A and B are shown apart, each in its own frame.
Chain A
């Protein structure tokens, strides 16, 4: 431990802040880590997803709905959509934070990004669940 007034301890960071180590964003490095988790998930899921898309080529709606509604295909697609949308939400936030410098515009853009990503995810999930339940 260094002395109370040494340069190492004379910091603006509060003791609690130092313990949590979350920094100015209040979320620490969680986005960085989640971006890698969702990327690995997408890499693992891309092959089955491509196979599913290939299976659907040239089919009419009834044929496509039947394949999309089967449990295995539906689960693969649900996992892919969750991983991919989460990944793109974080990615777009990084882009916004890099290029949008006005604080208010930046916050609005981040909010729009959240709305868009959530809507994409929910709409896709709803459609897949509807196909799965056959109504």
Chain B
């Protein structure tokens, strides 16, 4: 084992002023992690659908319960937020939107857009009859 070389480190989070884009960066990561574990829900749903009516009724009991519906609502928001926030990253990857007002605008659009799309999608879902 060679000795660990003590190199200078960059300052960590507490050294910086709190900014919107910084908060969004953290939220992007948290929603990503939430979606990672949320895929278990997707797997459960698909396996149940392929297993039969008995297994599927458990999924439906879960998704029509209050806590289950809350989790699916959270999953919907995490997915849409991560999606819009990710598109923001594409715009930056292409080299646009780096001016202070531009990156603030992009961030607000992703933040509000994610909430708005979630609400619209759930209204549509209830209108279709998913609330039963």
Q: Do A and B bind each other?
A: yes
Q: Which residues of A contact B (CB under 8 A)?
A: 36, 39-40, 42-43, 46, 50, 54, 57-58, 60-62, 64-65, 68, 77, 81, 84-85, 88, 91-92, 95, 120, 123-124, 126-128, 130-131
Contacts of B124 in A (CB 8 A): 54
Interface of B is mostly: helix
A58 touches B42 (CB 8 A): no
**10 closest A-B pairs (Cβ-Cβ)?**
A57-B130, A61-B56, A127-B46, A127-B50, A58-B129, A61-B53, A130-B50, A88-B36, A131-B50, A127-B47
Judge whether B52 is part of the interface by a CB distance below 8 angstroms: yes
B57 touches A88 (CB 8 A): no
Contacts of B15 in A (CB 8 A): none
B93 touches A36 (CB 8 A): yes
14 A-B pairs within 8 Å (CB atoms) are namely A36-B90, A46-B79, A50-B121, A54-B130, A61-B49, A61-B56, A81-B42, A88-B32, A95-B33, A120-B40, A120-B43, A127-B46, A127-B47, A127-B50
**Segment 1-50 of B: residues with Cβ below 8 Å from A:** 29, 32-33, 35-36, 39-40, 42-43, 46-50
User: Measured between C-beta atoms, what is the minimum distance from B17 to chain A in Å?
Assistant: 21
- Known contacts A61-B56, A61-B57, A88-B35: A124-B43 contact under CB 8 Å: yes
Given A57-B125, A85-B39; 18 other pairs, CB 8 A cutoff: A39-B86, A46-B79, A54-B125, A54-B130, A58-B130, A58-B132, A61-B49, A62-B53, A68-B49, A68-B50, A88-B35, A92-B33, A95-B32, A123-B47, A124-B46, A126-B50, A128-B46, A131-B46
Kindly report which residue of chain B lies nearest to residue A91, judged by CB atoms.
B32
Contacts of A64 in B (CB 8 A): 49, 56
A124 to B44, CA, bound (A): 9
Kindly report which residue of chain B lies nearest to residue A135, judged by CB atoms.
B50
A18 to B42, CA, bound (A): 43
User: Measured between C-beta atoms, what is the minimum distance from A98 to chain B in Å?
Assistant: 9
**Segment 55-84 of B: residues with Cβ below 8 Å from A:** 55-57, 79, 83
Judge whether B87 is part of the interface by a CB distance below 8 angstroms: yes
A131 touches B93 (CB 8 A): no
- Known contacts A54-B125, A88-B36, A91-B36: A65-B43 contact under CB 8 Å: no
